[in-house]
Amino acid sequence: MAIIVKIPQSQIKSAAAITAEPEKVPASRGLPRVLHWYGKLLPALTGVEIVDRLAVIVSFQGKEKLLGVPEVPFSSGEEQARFTRQWISEVLCNSGGLKEIPVKLLPPSIEHLSLTRNHFPVIKSDSFAGLRYLRKLSLDGNNISIIKPFAFRGLPRLRELSIQQTPLDTVAQFAFAGLQNITSIYLSHNKIRKVEAYAFAGTSNLKLLVLTNNPITRIKSNAFSGLSNVERLNFPSGVRILDSDAFNGLDTVGYLKLAFMDLPSLKSGTFRGLTNVKVLSIQESDLGVIDGDAFDGMTNIKFLNILNNKIDAIEFLNFTQEQHLKHVKFQGNHILEIPKPETLFIEVEKLTVVSNHFPCDCNIHTLLQGPLTNGSLGEFLSKNYCISPLEINGLHMNEIHIESIGHCEEEVTRGNLEASKELPSAAIICLSAKRTFLLVIITINIWLS
């Protein structure tokens, strides 16, 4: 009997002691070795009786090596296969038409299992129990639509898991829970629309989580709770809802990127519970309204990048010393409404505010008195732009005459209204350093009762 398998070179070397003059079997990665087994009646160790033994041999490129001659109590085909399986480390069953995971037929010694392009729609709880030596698992190209809670429990040595090119639409609660030693999970090119709470609970040593090329629209509260030591976490474009506490419990991240989102708002508590992040980058997105306390509760962020976003309004922006933010970079954003200075509280080691576009209306005076100028008014004016009015869109702020812009707190009084009865129209000339604009304000006589 023979079967094509892959056997680690280390196991071949460990069997060398049972051969008189062992020959080396080349360890060429990717090339299969052929495993043979033959039943034979041989004397027992006592030399008194005859027993069934199984000679297990591996052949490779014309060379052979004896792996062992175990005693087989019942020399049936099934028993022979069971004894032989202990030398198999890799099983590739791709495009095999499997409708369920054949865990009972798999040798417990395998380290690499590939079941791609088969036909099982559900991964049940404990689907791979007993494969304690498994290090790499590939399930790409199946019609997987459901992953039950604790589907991968009982795999203490698993390092890499790939589930790609499937119709999976939800990363369900506890689906990947309990994978204490896994380092990489690839979930790209699926149909995932949402990640439920505690989907990765207890998966504490994950280094890489890939969710790109999925139509994810919502990330629920506590979706990544339990993850720690993640080196990189990339999300697909098109996220529309970030629940409060979406990143709660996510601890020690190298790079967290949120890009191409289309949000109505950054909700209060969105980043609460996020801690120990080297780079948090929020970029190329429509952030809508930044609600009060959106960034409250996150701590120890080395670099916070808010880059090239559209921001309708900022209700409140609060960065305190207790959060330990080292560098906040606010760059390339288009802000449609200037925040009031009392809504901005920024205490960080370094603040960079460049290449942003702000409305150059009556609120510009409060903007220039607020913390975003970072103590250097001239530098702020030279490195940021006007987005409105239309006539000065795209100009550097230092190209316009700021003092010619009226203050919002200069309210129209009853006396002003009375005086306006005698003046059917008025003209205000706004001069800049390089251009002159004529703004004609037509006033309508208002008769007060």
Residues 6+ apart with CB under 8 A from 47: none
Residues 299 and 353 in one domain: yes
Residues 82 and 101 in one domain: no
With a cut of 70, say whether residue 159 has pLDDT above it. Answer: yes
Residues 6+ apart with CB under 8 A from 411: none
| Cβ neighbours, 10 Å, residue 278 | 15
With a cut of 70, say whether residue 410 has pLDDT above it. Answer: no
pLDDT digits (tens, 9 = 90+) for 417-428: 344 444 343 333
Q: Residue 406: inside a domain, yes or no?
A: no
With a cut of 80, say whether residue 352 has pLDDT above it. Answer: yes
**Nearest alpha carbon to residue 355 among 420, 305, 414, 429:** 305
Q: Residue 407: inside a domain, yes or no?
A: no
* Residue appearing with tokens 């008194």: 48
Residues 16 and 133 in one domain: no
Which residues form the domain of 73?
Answer: 2-86
- We report the CATH number of the domain holding residue 203 as 3.80.10.10
If DSSP codes are grouped into helix, strand and coil, which group holds residue 448?
coil
With a cut of 90, say whether residue 354 has pLDDT above it. Answer: yes
Q: Residue 361: inside a domain, yes or no?
A: yes
Residues 219 and 259 in one domain: yes
Residues 152 and 117 in one domain: yes
With a cut of 50, say whether residue 42 has pLDDT above it. Answer: yes
With a cut of 70, say whether residue 286 has pLDDT above it. Answer: yes
Q: Residue 175: inside a domain, yes or no?
A: yes
With a cut of 60, say whether residue 170 has pLDDT above it. Answer: yes
Pick the most confident of 81-95, 241-255, 405-419: 241-255
Q: Which amino acid is at 387?
A: I
| Cβ neighbours, 10 Å, residue 272 | 22
| Cβ neighbours, 10 Å, residue 109 | 17
Residues 161 and 289 in one domain: yes
Q: Residue 54: inside a domain, yes or no?
A: yes
For residue 117, the model assigns a pLDDT of 94
Q: Residue 448: inside a domain, yes or no?
A: no
The two three-digit tokens of residue 194, written as one number = 């949402």
> Of 86, 115, 145, which residue constitutes the final position of a domain?
86
> Of 37, 69, 86, which residue constitutes the final position of a domain?
86
Residues 270 and 301 in one domain: yes
Average pLDDT over residues 26-48: 55
Helix (H) or strand (E) holding 368: helix 364-368
For residue 234, the model assigns a pLDDT of 78
Number of domains in the chain: 2
For residue 45, the model assigns a pLDDT of 59
pLDDT tier, 85 (very low <50, low <70, confident <90, very high otherwise)? low
Residues 192 and 323 in one domain: yes
Residues 247 and 157 in one domain: yes
pLDDT tier, 202 (very low <50, low <70, confident <90, very high otherwise)? confident
Percent of the chain whose pLDDT exceeds 90 = 53
Q: Residue 426: inside a domain, yes or no?
A: no
With a cut of 50, say whether residue 26 has pLDDT above it. Answer: no
The two three-digit tokens of residue 56, written as one number = 């297990």
Helix (H) or strand (E) holding 258: strand 251-259
Distance, CA of 93 to CA of 105 (rounded, Å): 12
pLDDT tier, 94 (very low <50, low <70, confident <90, very high otherwise)? confident
Is residue 123 within 8 Å of 155, Cβ to Cβ? no
Residues 73 and 206 in one domain: no
Distance, CA of 232 to CA of 413 (rounded, Å): 58
For residue 86, the model assigns a pLDDT of 58
> Of 65, 86, 107, which residue constitutes the final position of a domain?
86
Residues 8 and 62 in one domain: yes
Distance, CA of 225 to CA of 369 (rounded, Å): 40
Q: Residue 351: inside a domain, yes or no?
A: yes
For residue 229, the model assigns a pLDDT of 85
Residues 307 and 371 in one domain: yes
Percent of the chain whose pLDDT exceeds 70 = 73
